[in-house]
């Protein structure tokens, strides 16, 4: 995969945990939709199964069958394989024993033009973050309660 740094969008990662040791591939259609619409580019994708004793196994899409990952296999040939062995070891710590997880790294193609403009203007990203959805919901509910009390 060849990437022009001047055109690169922000890169994010997530670890999505599923109870038990079975993956189903149900996330594949929406991920494909995002890729097909040019919103994201999948850069790395792997799967973790953690046993009850805390041990774990890491799998790539080629290691699993279609009943476990569905159409996610389509991304296997396009991956940049960004995660190091140490990254994986660190991420596994977030997964509860007895659970499975998908680790996904993606480029936000939709934000690439903005990032490119920032770099051309001499700017650079110095901080970034994400507000958990639970915090957003709590803030909206608190605001609604204040509005109801003020009426």
Q: How would you list the strands of the sheet with 11-19, edge to edge?
A: 11-19, 99-108, 40-50, 56-59
pLDDT digits (tens, 9 = 90+) for 88-128: 899 999 999 999 888 888 889 999 999 899 989 999 889 88
> pTM, whole model, 2 decimals?
0.75
Indicate whether 101 belongs to any domain.
yes
For residue 16, the SS3 value is strand
pLDDT of residue 4: 64
Indicate whether 135 belongs to any domain.
no
- In which domain, by residue range, is 85 found? 5-113
Q: Confirm if 121 and 99 have CB atoms less than 8 A apart.
A: no
pLDDT digits (tens, 9 = 90+) for 31-68: 889 988 999 988 888 888 899 998 998 877 666 555 55
Q: Whose CA is closest to 48, among 81, 71, 23?
A: 23
pLDDT of residue 113: 92
Indicate whether 120 belongs to any domain.
no
103 token code pair: 């680790």
Q: How many domains does the chain have?
A: 1
Indicate whether 108 belongs to any domain.
yes
91 token code pair: 């991420």
Indicate whether 66 belongs to any domain.
yes
Q: Confirm if 44 and 54 have CB atoms less than 8 A apart.
A: no
102 token code pair: 């998908």
Q: Which residues pair with 17 in a beta bridge?
A: 101
């Amino acid at each position: 995969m060849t990437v022009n740094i001047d055109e690169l969008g922000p890169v994010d990662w997530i670890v999505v945990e599923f109870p038990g040791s079975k993956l189903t591939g149900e996330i594949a259609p929406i991920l494909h939709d995002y890729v097909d619409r040019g919103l994201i580019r999948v850069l790395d994708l792997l799967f973790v199964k953690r046993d009850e004793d805390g041990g774990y196994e890491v799998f790539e899409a080629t290691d699993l069958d279609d009943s476990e990952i569905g159409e996610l296999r389509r991304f296997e040939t396009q991956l940049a394989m960004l995660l190091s062995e140490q990254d994986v070891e660190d991420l596994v710590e977030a997964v509860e024993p007895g659970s499975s997880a998908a680790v996904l790294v993606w480029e936000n193609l939709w934000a690439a033009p903005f990032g490119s403009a920032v770099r051309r203007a001499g700017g650079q990203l110095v901080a970034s973050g994400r507000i958990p959805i639970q915090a957003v919901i709590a803030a909206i509910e608190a605001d609604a309660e204040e509005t109801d009390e003020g009426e």
